[in-house]
Amino acid sequence: MAYPGSSRSVSSAPHAPWRIPDPWSAPDPWPAPEPWFTPDPWFLQPPYAWAGYPVEHPLTFPVVDAWRHVPHAWRQAPAHAGGPERITERPPRAHHIDWHARYPNDIILHGPTDRKAIALTFDDGPDDVWTPQILRILAQYQVKATFFCVGQRVQQSPRVLQQIYREGHVVGNHSWSHPNLTRLSPAEVRAEVERTSDEIQRLLGVRPYLFRPPYGALSDEVIREVVAMGYKIVFWNVDSLDWAGLTGPQVAANVLAHAGPGAIVLMHSAGGTGEGREPTVQSLPYIIVTLRRFGYTFVTVPELTGIPAYQPQAPG
């Protein structure tokens, strides 16, 4: 049947029993928002076909939220002052392995591989557009994750940061302005890290112990500075590439092809102007449901590795 005002049609025949969502056979996800976007009624109807969910098991939050009629650019966070996600700033994965081998006590690449546990991590937030949608999905599936937050965005979206913490997720440090730290002086590196932790501590009353460098870019000098400030550096061993222009199904396929016991998965919970995170939102339910089907549990980085989430509080 066709819905009024829509060029799409959805079958009204009864749906099969609950199945693992299959985004490859689902209709295209929602289009890029246009100025003064008017929701197509197709998006508001079950079976939420963009993610392959039958009407017997819908998501508990609407596919199109109340923000969708607001011009997208008005809501999206500005680009990182230090630069957006881009391939030219990222070292090869082999460098991560090398750094972990050289500093095994200071740099985490993955968790123990003797149990089927995976840590989902989200960089670059919080923001008021994509982070709340990701939090809804995580709440729906009762998954706890680790969010590496950028100080400038913490300052811009304090309530979202507080929601992350209140809902039981772990908050880590991802620098103040998202620069390539290897291009900064030691004093500038310290300022990027400590200013972010100061702001997080002001809002939450806890100071992060976990730090993730923007782009995964490190040098011996940066490592020494970060470790001297009392942080543990967290890399990843599965990059979703949700920042690289992939579609939702491609992001899901990439994660599922590489995730295994002890994996730390890199995803993103925010993007600057022109950096949509639809693929992250679209792929996340499928990733969770599929990995759970194969016996995996989802934990935070501290739960996966046995290290603390926050620095000890000073007495008094």
pLDDT in tens, 159-189: 999 999 999 999 999 999 999 999 999 999 9
pLDDT at 313: 85
Task: Indicate whether 46 belongs to any domain.
Answer: no
How would residue 147 be classed by pLDDT, with cut points 50, 70 and 90? very high
**C-alpha distances out from residue 115 to 10, 155, 221, 231, 296, Å:** 41, 37, 34, 26, 8
How would residue 191 be classed by pLDDT, with cut points 50, 70 and 90? very high
pLDDT mean across residues, the chain: 79
Highest averaged pLDDT of the listed ranges 21-25, 41-45, 55-59, 199-203: 199-203
Q: ∠ CA(120), CA(89), CA(201), 5° rounding? A: 50
Question: How many domains is the chain partitioned into structurally?
Answer: 1
pLDDT at 245: 85
Whether 268 is catalytic is yes
Which is catalytic among the residues 80, 96, 123, 178? Answer: 123
CATH number of the domain encompassing residue 138: 3.20.20.370
Task: Indicate whether 22 belongs to any domain.
Answer: no
Task: Indicate whether 49 belongs to any domain.
Answer: no
pTM, two decimals, is: 0.74
Q: Provide DSSP, 201-248.
A: HHHHS--B-EE--GGG---HHHHHHHHHTT-EEE--SEE--TTTT--H
- State which residues form the domain around 159: 74-305
Task: Indicate whether 236 belongs to any domain.
Answer: yes
Task: Indicate whether 27 belongs to any domain.
Answer: no
Task: Indicate whether 165 belongs to any domain.
Answer: yes
Q: Residue 72 above 70 pLDDT?
A: no
Whether 123 is catalytic is yes
**C-alpha distances out from residue 113 to 118, 142, 295, Å:** 10, 23, 14
Query: Cis peptide before 47, with omega less than 30 degrees from 0?
Result: yes
**Model confidence pLDDT, tens digit, residues 219-256:** 999 999 999 999 999 999 999 999 888 999 999 999 99
Q: Residue 40 above 60 pLDDT?
A: no
The fraction of the chain above a pLDDT of 70, given in percent, is 68
Task: Indicate whether 139 belongs to any domain.
Answer: yes
pLDDT at 210: 98
